[in-house]
């Protein structure tokens, strides 16, 4: 019972953050599975977390898509390119020792935390024309984000959202909705790669996904409400 409650509660936290910001919550999945739920093997935590994050992202993506927040063509291209990076990154992650992988993961979380503490000015980014430069920038961001997602078992949304804004100039609410397609694709590619090696706890993933559904609905509702106020989501993402 304790495991069930902790899994659903942890999934709710991840789902809420994904629905609200399109990212940030997925980086919490692995440490939550290890230190709150009690998964003993790092690779199983990463594989299970990737599957749960992918499912939660899909659920949140549907909600955003129904509200018209998704830029479909951009999202599809970004996801397709990023999957290549995710497969390569997850293969490398599986080959590493679990303790070394967790050490690198911890360092990444510290860097992300320090960057979020830095005060930043709100960027006013205008929509950019679809030209060779924009396509190249989008492709590079997609490949790099996908590789990081697969290697660490994270969704990468905290990188995808600002990457989409800088590359395309789309509004924040559209970047949030569109990023969830990429998060779902990256997580699914990583989960399949880990599942082929027997590194996914399917029952636990189901409990985590259930929690993510609950939190995701609340997060998407909150994101839609805040999206009506100029720069509110931008300020939250930068906190």
- Tens of pLDDT along 68-107? 889 888 888 889 999 999 999 999 999 999 889 989 988 8
| 131 Cβ contact list (under 8 Å, min separation 6) | none
CB 236 within 8 Å of CB 21: yes
Model's pTM, two decimal places?
Answer: 0.80
Helical H segments across 22-156, by residue range? 29-32, 42-66, 72-95, 98-117, 132-152
* Cα(144)–Cα(162) distance, integer angstroms: 13
Q: How many CB atoms lie within 10 A of CB 121?
A: 6
Residue 43's Cβ-side half-sphere holds a number of Cα atoms within 13 Å equal to 17
* Cα(173)–Cα(70) distance, integer angstroms: 9
Once rounded to an integer, what is the mean pLDDT over residues 176-200? 92
Lowest mean pLDDT of 7-11, 13-17, 22-26, 112-116, name the range. Answer: 22-26
* Cα(210)–Cα(37) distance, integer angstroms: 14
pLDDT at residue 156 is higher than 60: yes
Closest CA to 163 of 147, 190, 140, 194: 140
* Cα(86)–Cα(225) distance, integer angstroms: 32
194 — pLDDT class (breaks 50, 70, 90): very high
pLDDT at residue 127 is higher than 70: no
Q: What is the pLDDT of residue 166?
A: 78
pLDDT at residue 165 is higher than 90: no
pLDDT at residue 67 is higher than 70: yes
CA geometry: angle at 22 spanning 119 and 166, to 5°?
Answer: 55
Higher pLDDT, 28 or 122: 28
43 — pLDDT class (breaks 50, 70, 90): very high
pLDDT at residue 204 is higher than 90: yes
* Cα(152)–Cα(140) distance, integer angstroms: 18
């Amino acid at each position: 019972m304790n495991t069930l409650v902790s899994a659903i509660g942890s999934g709710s936290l991840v789902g809420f953050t994904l629905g609200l910001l399109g990212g940030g919550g997925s980086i919490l999945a692995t440490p939550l599975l290890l230190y709150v739920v009690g998964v003993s093997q790092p690779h199983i935590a990463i594989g299970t977390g990737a599957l749960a994050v992918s499912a939660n992202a899909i659920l949140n993506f549907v909600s955003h898509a129904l509200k018209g927040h998704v830029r479909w063509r951009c999202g599809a291209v970004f996801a397709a390119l990023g999957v290549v990076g995710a497969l390569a990154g997850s293969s490398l992650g599986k080959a590493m020792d679990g303790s070394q992988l967790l050490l690198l993961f911890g360092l990444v979380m510290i860097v992300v935390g320090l960057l979020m503490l830095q005060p930043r000015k709100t960027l006013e980014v205008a929509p950019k024309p679809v030209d060779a430069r924009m396509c190249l920038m989008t492709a590079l961001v997609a490949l790099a984000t996908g590789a990081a997602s697969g290697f660490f078992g994270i969704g990468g949304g905290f990188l995808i959202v600002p990457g989409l804004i800088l590359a395309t100039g789309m509004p924040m609410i559209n970047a949030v909705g569109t990023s969830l397609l990429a998060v779902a694709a990256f997580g699914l590619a990583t989960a399949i790669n880990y599942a082929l090696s027997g590194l996914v706890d399917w029952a636990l993933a189901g409990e985590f996904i259930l929690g993510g559904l609950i939190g995701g609905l609340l997060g998407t509702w909150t994101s839609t409400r805040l999206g009506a106020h100029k720069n509110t989501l931008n300020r939250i993402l930068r906190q």
